[in-house]
Amino acid sequence: MTVLHLADETEAADLAAFLTRLLRYDRAAAVRLQAAGTALAVFGRPPSFEVLAVRAVRLAKPYEDGLDATLDVTVSAGELLESVDERSVTAVVPAPVTGPPWAGVLPPRGGWQPETGLPGPAALHRTLADSVAEFRSRTEALAPEQRTRAELDRIGREIWSREVGPTPLPVRAVHAAHSLGFLRPPDPAVGEDTGLFSSGPWLRLRTPYGSIAVRRAGLGTLGVSVR
């Protein structure tokens, strides 16, 4: 049994909250864990958003036998959540599962370059609120016979594929960040360390609470809608 010793109760609570939010979108969600030294990265993909979510977790001590040992495994998000103990500030790594296709295509670890033009957190919240309001207004205006899943998904794709300000970042990445608890109201104690970065075909929206990564090409045809 592999036990992860988390840095403090806040790290344990935030990890549990992230996993809980993922499971709201997919009860059978899997996450890929990568740990080296005192850093643990938890990757997940909420199916409604067509993005990858990355939650960085601080460990109290280097993983397993020291800095030379690493962890890279895909596990059940539900089983990992059940193992998080906020009192002992630990989590047990569940048995590996057969990874979904996305787990084999992760963003690069390095080579990220800053992208300019990303609006501040307050403006991102306004963009998201306006987009949600537009989706609801347009879908509520449909006649009953027109309110099909295909039409709802078409409207969703149109809205959530729009770019944020002068950046190439799609609005769905902002929506995902908010839904997963990464994009929160400004907190003076935390700061507003929100930025946009790119590496090859990947874009990464970074916040103090986690990151959302999205590929600029090859995303498939998954529809996005507000539920």
**Least-confidence region, from 80-84, 196-200, 219-223:** 219-223
Secondary structure of residue 45 in the 3-state scheme? coil
Binned at pLDDT 50, 70 and 90, residue 11 comes out as very high
Query: For position 36, what pLDDT does the model report?
Result: 83
Portion of the chain with pLDDT greater than 90, in percent: 75
In a domain, 220, yes or no: no
In a domain, 223, yes or no: no
**Least-confidence region, from 104-108, 161-165, 186-190:** 186-190
Whether residue 192 is found in the same domain as residue 124: yes
Is residue 23 over pLDDT 60?
yes
In a domain, 226, yes or no: no
Whether residue 99 is found in the same domain as residue 184: no
Please say which residue of 104, 129, 148 terminates a domain: 104
CA nearest neighbour of 22 among 46, 50, 48, 40: 46
CA nearest neighbour of 77 among 63, 91, 56, 61: 91
Please say which residue of 59, 85, 104 terminates a domain: 104
| pLDDT tens, position by position, 46-55 | 988 889 999 9
- For tokens 């995303």, name the residue: 219
Is residue 208 over pLDDT 80?
yes
Whether residue 99 is found in the same domain as residue 162: no
> Region 201-218: what's the mean pLDDT?
90
Q: Residue 84 is part of which domain span?
A: 2-104
Query: For position 223, what pLDDT does the model report?
Result: 34
Number of domains in the chain: 2
- The whole-chain average pLDDT of the chain stands at 88
Binned at pLDDT 50, 70 and 90, residue 196 comes out as very high
Domain with residue 68: its CATH number is 3.10.150
Whether residue 206 is found in the same domain as residue 134: yes
Binned at pLDDT 50, 70 and 90, residue 163 comes out as very high
Please say which residue of 104, 131, 157 terminates a domain: 104
On whether the CB atoms of residues 198 and 112 are closer than 8 A, the answer is: yes
Whether residue 143 is found in the same domain as residue 86: no
Whether residue 32 is found in the same domain as residue 66: yes
Whether residue 97 is found in the same domain as residue 121: no
Whether residue 141 is found in the same domain as residue 204: yes
Whether residue 100 is found in the same domain as residue 117: no
In a domain, 86, yes or no: yes
Whether residue 10 is found in the same domain as residue 83: yes
Whether residue 14 is found in the same domain as residue 70: yes
Whether residue 129 is found in the same domain as residue 74: no
The reply to whether the predicted model has a pTM over 0.75 is yes
In a domain, 23, yes or no: yes
Neighbouring CB atoms inside 10 A of 146's CB total 10
In a domain, 184, yes or no: yes
